[in-house]
Amino acid sequence: MAKYVYFFGAGKAEGKREMKELLGGKGANLAEMANLGLPVPPGFTATTEVCRKYYELGEEKLFKLVEPEIKKNLARLEKLTGKTFGRGPKPLLVSVRSGAAVSMPGMMDTVLNLGITSETIDALIELAGNERFVWDAYRRFMQMFGDVVMRVPREEFEHALDGVKKKYNRQLDTQLTTDELKKVVESYRRIYRKHTGEEFPDDAMAQLRRSMGAVFGSWNNPRAVTYRQLHDIRGLLGTAVNVQTMVFGNMGEKCGTGVAFTRDPSTGQNKYFYGEYLMNAQGEDVVAGIRTPQQISRQGSREWARNNGISEKERRANYPSLEELMPKCFKELDRIRARLEKHYREMQDVEFTIEDGKLHMLQTRAGKRTAAAAVKIASDMVKEKLISTEDAVARVEPGTLDQLLHPVFEPKAEAAAKQLARGLPASPGAATGQVVFSAEEAERWAEMGRTVILVRIETSPEDIGGMAVAKGILTARGGMTSHAAVVARGMGTCCVAGAGDVVIDYKSKTMHVNGVHVKEGDWISLNGSTGVLYEGKIDTIEPRLTGAFATIMQWADKYRRLGVRANADTPHDAATAVRFGAEGIGLCRTEHMFFEGDRIISFRRLILVADTVKRLRLDLAQADGEEKKKIEKQLAAPLKQYNRALRELLPLQRKDFIGIFKALKGRPCTIRLLDPPLHEFLPHDEAGQRGMAKTMGLDAKRVKELVESLHEFNPMLGHRGCRLGITYPEVSAMQVRAIVEAALKVKGSKPEIMIPLAGHVKELALQKQVALDTIEAVKKEQKLKKLPFPVCIGTMIEVPRAAITADEIAEEADFFSFGTNDLTQMGCGFSRDDAGKFLGDYVREGIYDYDPFQVLDRGGVGKLMEMACRLGRSTSPKLKLGICGEHGGEPKSVEFCHQVGLDYVSCSPYRVPIARLAAAHAVLAEKRSKRKKSK
Ligand code: PEP
Ligand code: MG
């Protein structure tokens, strides 16, 4: 027969720590502590399987099934404590608490002091020797039971309590007398009756049954469901329910309650015992924030007093540590701390209660910690020989490293700041600055030494200069792979994208956010890690990448198989990437180079005549005689301009690549030929078009016509990527020449030429030929027999057709790099820039588990990748495989890349450490699953 309930107490337990899935974290660890002989109030745990049955059978049928076991365990509890439940001279009171396999603090329900009835109350008063305490416990129980079990509005109870306090002129709950508390109980009864149509239950077993049902029910309350979604908690049966003998921290001056950590959860320090407690209080009082909790250790208490400007005299008088106030209890707790850490080999977060000078342990679990604390604790524990380097690497969550790589807000200042809106956490970090609404203003203000936040409806490549100088970027539209998001991540600039509540008016240089009016020059703050926009300035803290962080990264590198490269397009970004441990560049986007300084003029000059040159050349090829001469004449001027632009661009590009090769110091560099549609290089507003016309000595109408002629209804599927190179091979040739000439100038360079957006092998073959011809020409000019580096030409896999025909494509390619931004766009059919509007709904509805632009869609896009890897390697076994879409820095996607056998991932420089650690985790997870299988 299935076992639904597990007992713990008196130095032993039926459960143990390994049974988390079944007993929940709290239940499994209470059992473990009992087995260790620690002072745990006895009790029992109804399993998560019971929770599953609760949803399958409903409350009534469930209790028919499990009540015999509950009663049997209650009887054991009665025997062990010498108390009786719901009757007798020594009534037993219990707590009913939730506890899933993964901790979900505060999300589910709890009922305390259960078992007080009209039959037990007198005996309890006799037993406690304190009438007031028992009536206070009763009113707390009624309030919790009413709220949690029967959904009686909490405010009603609070109003009633306030009413009695007011009537008797009491400021604090603790000042209420016994008679006044009895009055509170009376009004609680009335409220309960009014809302439920029945009397408050006076039978302890009925109280227990309903409370347990309510706690099981709280597994699916909206709070808990949202929490699981936010923290990606999946695949659990439900919550277990722990029924435990009550111990009271609020029964007098020799009582107290607190929470403690075996090491400091914010820094990882292990200098003294970290934790807080309150005398004469119940757990809820510690969290309620009405009284100031005191520190557990003397040293901690002194530090706390110093930080809060409290004198030693005042501290000792009003806020003494537990160490000073109850040295015996402190010593015992300190011994338990050491014992638990050694036993669990992990930092623990414990809850305890002291009743009448006796210590009771109510909970232990792996403590939540900041990323800084996680790396310090993991590396310290290796030094202390508590864990292996493998454990240490596995214990640091890759995603949390973000906290260490960017400036963050000072936590207290952030908590106090006013939130204006929420967008997507597009690029992590924290930024505070003055609002500007255009890239030009951003550059101008930055030159004057101001710190700016660039606010745009959305950004485009022409904003690059402003984006580069901005401390932070905020957009009202766009998703996680929108231009703003991708570029900001690449630069390591904090960005909140797609904040739909932000209404921007460029004309008046203002924005409205949920009733708040913000104008140019006003201060705002962005948290790019959470997506929150704040009003005003918030202080920030800079990151440090040495010490424990560096140690963990070195260990991670020992385990990983995947290479890690970076997406970087400037020498500065390349150097940052190398500093973060990148082994090369996996994607150098060349388009941004066309915007800098005067080169945009040259490129615009080329765009202006490109179409005419192309058309006339085609006509010329078909013409002869007079017609031919006429066309040649027509072609002469535009062609001159076209070639001049290319000549001007060549040395500039070459210089860019020289800088990047130098920064890479011999590491490989994949350089992608021009990708965006040409219209992105032209100004779209009237002022910009007038400016361009003036610079080029043209009529503004001509510029407007040009912009209109390049307009595309669906530019992402339009004339971009290698399609540009097919139409204008001279542009590809110029870029290849610049790459090769630069590589020849910097010893040790390893250039890799990447053709974007190919969907058909012939596109690649044509572009490859252009590259090979150019290389031959350079060799000839420089009288070289051979280049000092291998000529590596590959392609991006971004179009589903490319993945499907990867066997053919591989015959022309030395490498594939999965451009999963576009592959997701075209594979799922979601516009990268617009899908943000509805993808939230898709995730909420569970259609996709995650936004597929953030976490690789294994079931769809992943299958395309698997197919492309398999097909590609079938015709070209040595084909090198990588990824350079944004997924290359996302831990779950990195794991998938490891599983499908890619050679490397490439991501923005600031995500390189995350990818390194995630790649190590992928190996460790594989090892674990192999070990499991072999067992
Ligand atoms: C991609 O599509 O994944 C990619 C890396 O290219 P881009 O984001 O520049 O389109
Ligand atoms: Mg792409």
pLDDT tens, position by position, 519-565 = 999 999 999 988 999 999 999 887 767 899 999 999 999 999 999 99
Q: Indicate whether this model's pTM tops 0.75.
A: yes
Let me know if 483 is a catalytic residue.
yes
Banded model confidence at residue 237, pLDDT cuts 50, 70, 90: confident
For residue 917, the surrounding DSSP H or E stretch is helix 912-934
**Does residue 653 register a pLDDT over 80?**
yes
- The ligand that comes nearest to the alpha carbon of residue 592 is 1
pLDDT tens, position by position, 206-235 = 999 999 999 999 999 888 887 787 778 888
Using DSSP's 3-state secondary structure scheme, residue 305 falls into: helix
Question: What's the rounded mean pLDDT across residues 113-138?
Answer: 94
Atom 6, ligand 1: which residue's CA is nearest? Answer: 819
pLDDT tens, position by position, 786-833 = 999 998 999 999 999 999 999 999 999 999 999 999 999 999 999 988
Q: How far is the centre of ligand 1, averaged over its atoms, from the C-alpha of 379 (Å)?
A: 37
- Give the number of the atom of ligand 1 that is nearest the alpha carbon of residue 885: 3
To test ligand 1's pocket by mutation, which of 481, 755, 822, 864 has the most ligand atoms within 8 angstroms of CB? Answer: 822
Is the model more confident about 424 or about 749?
Answer: 749
pLDDT tens, position by position, 60-111 = 999 999 999 999 999 999 999 999 999 999 999 999 999 999 888 777 888 9
Q: What was the pLDDT predicted at 282?
A: 80
Banded model confidence at residue 403, pLDDT cuts 50, 70, 90: confident
pLDDT tens, position by position, 128-179 = 889 999 999 999 999 999 999 999 998 899 899 999 999 999 988 888 999 9
Q: How far is the centre of ligand 2, averaged over its atoms, from the C-alpha of 825 (Å)?
A: 9
Q: How far is the centre of ligand 1, averaged over its atoms, from the C-alpha of 886 (Å)?
A: 8
Catalytic position from the list 255, 329, 406, 483: 483
* 33 in Cβ contact with 20 (< 8 Å): no
Banded model confidence at residue 407, pLDDT cuts 50, 70, 90: confident
b/e map 379-407, b = 16+ CB within 10 Å = bbbbeeebbebbebbbbbebbbbbbbbbb
Q: How far is the centre of ligand 2, averaged over its atoms, from the C-alpha of 258 (Å)?
A: 54
Q: What is the DSSP code string of 521-583?
A: T-EEEEETTTTEEEES---EE-----THHHHHHHHHHHH--SEEEEE--SHHHHHHHHHTT--
Catalytic position from the list 329, 669, 722, 884: 884
Q: What was the pLDDT predicted at 288?
A: 52
Q: How far is the centre of ligand 1, averaged over its atoms, from the C-alpha of 853 (Å)?
A: 11
- Give the number of the atom of ligand 1 that is nearest the alpha carbon of residue 757: 2
Banded model confidence at residue 285, pLDDT cuts 50, 70, 90: low
pLDDT tens, position by position, 461-487 = 778 889 989 999 999 987 776 788 878
Q: Measure the CA–CA gap between 772 and 509, rounded to whole angstroms.
A: 50
- Give the number of the atom of ligand 1 that is nearest the alpha carbon of residue 818: 3
pLDDT tens, position by position, 769-787 = 999 999 999 999 999 999 9
Q: How many Cβ atoms are within 10 Å of 517's Cβ, its own excluded? A: 9
Question: What's the rounded mean pLDDT across residues 359-363?
Answer: 96
Atom 8, ligand 1: which residue's CA is nearest? Answer: 821
Query: How much is the mean pLDDT over the chain?
Result: 93
To test ligand 1's pocket by mutation, which of 459, 464, 480, 481 has the most ligand atoms within 8 angstroms of CB? Answer: 481
For the chain, report the end-to-end CA distance as a whole number of angstroms.
26
Q: What was the pLDDT predicted at 481?
A: 66
Let me know if 329 is a catalytic residue.
no
Structure tokens at 580: 């973060």
To test ligand 1's pocket by mutation, which of 480, 486, 594 has the most ligand atoms within 8 angstroms of CB? Answer: 486
Q: How far is the centre of ligand 1, averaged over its atoms, from the C-alpha of 660 (Å)?
A: 20
* 242 in Cβ contact with 114 (< 8 Å): no
Instruction: List CB contacts of 753: < 8 A, sequence separation 6 or more.
Output: 671, 673, 736, 739, 771, 791, 792, 793, 794
Q: What was the pLDDT predicted at 289?
A: 52
Atom 3, ligand 1: which residue's CA is nearest? Answer: 819
- Give the number of the atom of ligand 1 that is nearest the alpha carbon of residue 798: 2
For residue 378, the surrounding DSSP H or E stretch is helix 371-383
Using DSSP's 3-state secondary structure scheme, residue 855 falls into: coil
Question: What's the rounded mean pLDDT across residues 592-605?
Answer: 87
- Give the number of the atom of ligand 1 that is nearest the alpha carbon of residue 756: 6
Q: What was the pLDDT predicted at 286?
A: 60
**Does residue 287 register a pLDDT over 70?**
no
**Does residue 491 register a pLDDT over 80?**
no
Poorest-confidence range of 97-101, 294-298, 307-311, 834-838? 307-311
Q: What was the pLDDT predicted at 791?
A: 87
**Does residue 603 register a pLDDT over 80?**
yes
